[in-house]
Amino acid sequence: MLSSIIFILVLGVAIILFTRKIKKISREINLGRDIQIDDNKPLRWKQMLFIAIGQQKMLDRPIAALMHIFVYVGFIIVNIEMLEILTDGVLGSHRAFSFIGNGYPILISAFEFVALAVIFGCVVFLVRRNVLRVNRFWNEEMKIWPRTDANIILITEIFLMSSILIMNATDGILQMQPDSHYVQVGSFAVSGMIQPLFAGMSVDALTFVERFCWWFHIIGVMAFLNYIPYSKHFHVFLSFPNVYYSKLGPKGEMVNMPAVTREVKLMLEENYSEPAGEEEPLLLGAKDVRELTWKHLMDAYSCTECGRCTSRCPANMTGKKLSPRKIVMDTRDRLEEIGRALHRKSKDEKLNYDDGKSLFDYISTEELWACTTCNACTQECPVNIDPMAIILEMRRHLVMERSEAPVPLNSMFANIENNGAPWQYSPEDRLQWVEK
């Protein structure tokens, strides 16, 4: 009874903490401008099925794709066993699902093979990151914390999977002890092979190891659950809605600014009248995260920090300062900074909050103008994040609010305004090039 009470309390605390963090992240994402994304739902579900669930965009790098499938899919499948652990924890039972009969050892053995695949995948990823030092994991923006975060996750998964195997191995030995309360279900495929490691231990020692691994696994999973929202691995949850709401049209298609669209319609359409209602503020691009849309902010929280975008960026390849991954990470850092500041403020204070900083304190104009708008970053992202959309919104602010475009662009703008063309000669001379 005491064990069940402790278990229920630990489970309740874990769920409450996780829920509070999710609500906080949801509030921060909703700080962005509202947009309606509700078109072509069948295609959106199909996109989520193939890209978010089917890992379609991972397949161009087969080794990483296979290891990711081991870790991602394996971790989900193995934690189906959590259903039994939760049942045992609440009821104080042991192997509550053993009523399945002869199929039970087969099922648990299958879980163990999957756990072994997860361990193997995590070891390969640790070697790639820390021994082989794959370049995209060691870019400038990948400072101590981003690298440590990835290692924490991988090592934690290894421990969690190992605890299952050790628990099952010691459980298999304890089943055969006289007067044992352990349900006799037989040994399992993988843990059965490591049972000789524990053969010489006393019953008390075996019971301690089995119970320790049981509690370690359940508390570890709950701690892992609450760590994920603070980690880049939050994409485990957000990748599905992020892919669902991603752009369906051409990747390079630029989104019109509502403010400019209204002005053009007022000039060109005789019968155009603005919709009744509260007048929207004039926004020309984005200076800070609250002037981006909620989808841009969801992108920021969905980033896996895998670096595929940066590794394919032609500007980055040629030594320029731009890293699409850094753009997304900086957007998330700024959003978290504002979220922390707004947490304890009143509604009016939140609306008028201004700490004197902006997204430009994180992202330099040199990075923004290095972008060639080729969309390689968007194409590469396994969860359909669009770093270029954030870059374009910040560029628009520079050009249309601050008139801070590079000199060649300012010259082109002046020529278009005065001559109707990007070149510096009069409109009458525009067709001279065809005369000869």
The rounded distance, in Å, linking the Cα atoms of 186 and 305 is 43
The rounded distance, in Å, linking the Cα atoms of 256 and 398 is 16
Distances (CA, A) of 411 to 120, 408, 419, 424: 57, 5, 11, 9
Confidence of residue 395 (pLDDT cuts 50, 70, 90): very high
- Flag whether pLDDT at 277 surpasses 70: no
What is the C-alpha end-to-end distance of the chain, expressed in Å? Answer: 97
> 168: closest CA among 101, 99, 115?
115
177 domain residue, yes or no: yes
54 domain residue, yes or no: no
Of the listed ranges 127-136, 159-168, 267-276, 338-347, the least confidently predicted one is: 267-276
Judge if 211 and 81 occupy the same domain.
yes
Judge if 265 and 407 occupy the same domain.
yes
8 A C-beta contact, residue 156 and residue 224: yes
The count of structural domains within the chain is: 2
Distances (CA, A) of 352 to 35, 183, 346, 356: 22, 63, 10, 12
45 domain residue, yes or no: no
188 domain residue, yes or no: yes
How many separate helices (H) and strands (E) can be counted in the chain? 19, 0
Element (H, E) at 209: helix 203-227
Judge if 140 and 25 occupy the same domain.
yes
- Flag whether pLDDT at 335 surpasses 90: yes
The pLDDT of residue 160 is: 92
Judge if 318 and 385 occupy the same domain.
yes
103 domain residue, yes or no: yes
435 domain residue, yes or no: no
The pLDDT of residue 176 is: 82
The pLDDT of residue 279 is: 59
pTM given for the model: 0.88
> 304: closest CA among 93, 51, 42?
51
- Please enumerate in sequence order all residues whose Cβ is within 8 A of that of 17, keeping only pairs 6 or more positions apart, or say none: 226
Report which of residues 176 and 348 the model is more confident about.
176
Confidence of residue 317 (pLDDT cuts 50, 70, 90): very high
SS3 content of the chain, % helix, strand, coil (to 5): 65, 0, 30
The rounded distance, in Å, linking the Cα atoms of 292 and 34 is 9
Q: Which domain holds residue 322?
A: 258-269+283-419
The rounded distance, in Å, linking the Cα atoms of 365 and 337 is 21
Judge if 10 and 78 occupy the same domain.
yes
Q: Structure tokens of 18?
A: 């996780």
Report which of residues 331 and 91 the model is more confident about.
331
